[in-house]
Every structure is written in structure tokens, then in C-alpha cells.
Amino acid sequence: MNEQQIIEWLLEGDVSIQYQVHRDLLGDDRKDLQDRIAIEGWGKQFLSKRNPNGHWGRKFYQPKWISTHYTLLDLRNLNLSPKNDIVKEVIQFVLSSGKSEDGGIPLGPSTAKFSDVCVNGMFLNYASYYKTEEHELYSVVDSILSEIMPDGGFNCRTTRSGATHSSLHTTISVLEGLYEFQKSGYTYRMNEIQSAKASAEEFILLHQLFLSDHTGKIINKEFLKMPYPSRWKYNILRALDYFQYAKCKWDKRMELAIRELEKKRNKYSSWNSQAKHPGQTHFEMEKAGKPGRWNTLKALRILKHYKIEKLQPTMHKIY
């Protein structure tokens, strides 16, 4: 397929895909499409799964992928309108249920003292996107900033097993949350947030997005796979999509990850959807092993943001 055919194929997808294609690839922020996400397609399906007790699933974090937490994250990634009253109501419901002693969001009784910084990052992401009152997020921000590690990143295991090295999984979730808080116009502890964001970005870049900074070897082959939704798990597509969303400048240390991304382009010039993370889901958005609109949309907006024309045999970029 040529570029125009790929765009046309993307626009045959769910209205949430259509909206992001218009906004990110065609430069046309179609709010009429965004408003339709709540009343048709995947957005409507997610919203319809909410239980009478106010939660999705059983509780905030159980069972995992159909819980309130991951459903809110899914809806945020669809780009459901930030004005949606149902989501705003659920976020208030979560906040009114209490916080851990460290100010974060508890996953259950076992986290009454220490919350999970990875989940706090994801919560900050969607709570900021849906314009939660800033003061209600102060303690979540405090909790996150208290967990910056000496290497500049974050690791959710610090309060459980005393981790001494940051995790790419946790760091990307925290980065997404810190940037969304910043993007939403909040000002609380902003200098510290900007510093934490810069150090976390540098942590990812130091590893060229997927390589050991000591051996140069691939840290985890799973980082090169691209399932959607990514949940809490890190991969190079998620990292690159963060960098373009946060309008980060090109850094040569992104190049190897971009090359890996290009290798995954299929014969149709799109990108396949890869096997999802195991666990119960509300419904299936895309079939694994088939051309996937989510991965194709993300890959194209990354390449567009960094103005990459051609990757082989050498990389060309327009600055």
C-alpha cells in the first residue's frame, strides 16, 4: 500500500483511530470524531462494561485487565473526550476511597502503607488527562517524586524488594504520567517534575531504548514486541510514541529502536498487531498476527514527528 492507501485503511477503523489519524497524521483535530468515541465502537463498549457498584471488574485493580484502573487507562488511550462525565465520576470515586500512607493510590489492603509507583504513574496519566482538580493529585505527585532512583529512573519494586536499579517498565509509566500532568497546565512542584522527567528520559536514552548500558546486549527480547494494549509493560514502540507525544527532540540514541521498528513493517507497509498480554479482557480490539491499526498509527506518527524519510541503508532525517 502507498501512503494514501494506508491512511484510507486506518480511517476505516474504529472512531478512536479515525480521530487520532486526523489529529496526528492529517493535522486536523476533529473534535466531532472525539465526541463520538463515547457513543460508538470501542469507547462505547468499554463504558458499557461498568458495574452498578461503580467499578469495572471487581475493584480498582482486580481482575487486572478488566479492572477499573486498566479500563480507565484504555479509555484515556482511546482519547475519549476529557470532558466525559462517567470517567470523571469514576476517578472521583477512586480518590474518595482513600490513599495509601505514602499518598499514592492503593491497589488493595496489602498496599495500605506503600502504593505502587508504576500504577501511580498510570493513574496520574489518566487523572490529569481527564482534568481532575489539581489539589487532589498533590499526594500522588509527592509519592512519585519520592521514589526517583539514583540512576534517574523509577522501579516499582523499591518498596517491596529493595531494587537498586530502575526499571524501563516503571519509568515509562511514570514519564507518561508526569508529562500529562505538565501538559494539563498544572503547576504543583513543576520544577521538580521537569527535572524528574528529564532524568527518566535520559535513563531510557542511555539504554538506547532496549540495550544494556554495560554489555550492549538486548535487555529483554519482549521489549521488541508490540502488543496493544501495552498495559504496564515497556516496549520500544511505547517509548518512541512517548517521545513524539512529549515533543522530545531527536536523539541519535533513538536510532537503533527506529531501525527495529522499521524491520517490523510488513509487506503491506503497515505494522502487525502482536500477541496480547495474557489475562481476561473486556473484548478484543485487534487480532494478533494481522495488520494492526494501533501499531501502524503509532509507527507513522513517530516517523512523521521525527521527519524520517528512509531508514535503509542509512538513516535520513530532515531537521
Q: Please, which residues bridge with residue 291 across strands?
A: 272
Q: Which residue's C-alpha cell is 458495574?
A: 51
The predicted pLDDT at position 159 comes to 78
Residue that is written with C-alpha cell 467499578 in the block: 55
Three-state SS letters, 191-254: HHHHHHHHHHHHHHHHCCCCECCCCCCECCHHHHCCECCCCCCCCHHHHHHHHHHCCCCCCHHH
Band of residue 312 on the pLDDT scale cut at 50, 70, 90: very low
pLDDT tens, position by position, 73-88:
999 999 999 999 999 9
Digit-coded pLDDT (tens) for 56-69 = 999 999 999 999 99
Helix H or strand E segment including 310: strand 308-310
Amino acid at position 134, single letter: E
Q: What is the mean pLDDT of residues 180-186?
A: 98
pLDDT of 313: 40
Number of CB atoms found within 10 A of residue 93's CB: 14
Give residue 110's pLDDT.
72
Which has more pLDDT, 187 or 314? Answer: 187
Check: CATH 1.50.10.20 for 36-317?
yes
pLDDT at 291: 97
- For the chain, domain boundaries: 36-317
**What does each C-alpha distance from 197 to 122, 176, 179, 200, 238 come to in angstroms?**
14, 9, 7, 5, 16
The predicted model gives 1-17 an average pLDDT of 95
Considering the chain, what is the average pLDDT of its residues? 94
**pLDDT score of 181 more than 70:** yes
- The residues with which 272 forms a beta bridge, in sequence order, are 291
Closest of 71, 21, 67 to residue 45, by C-alpha: 71
Q: What's the confidence (pLDDT) of residue 309?
A: 62
The grid cell for 189 is 512542584
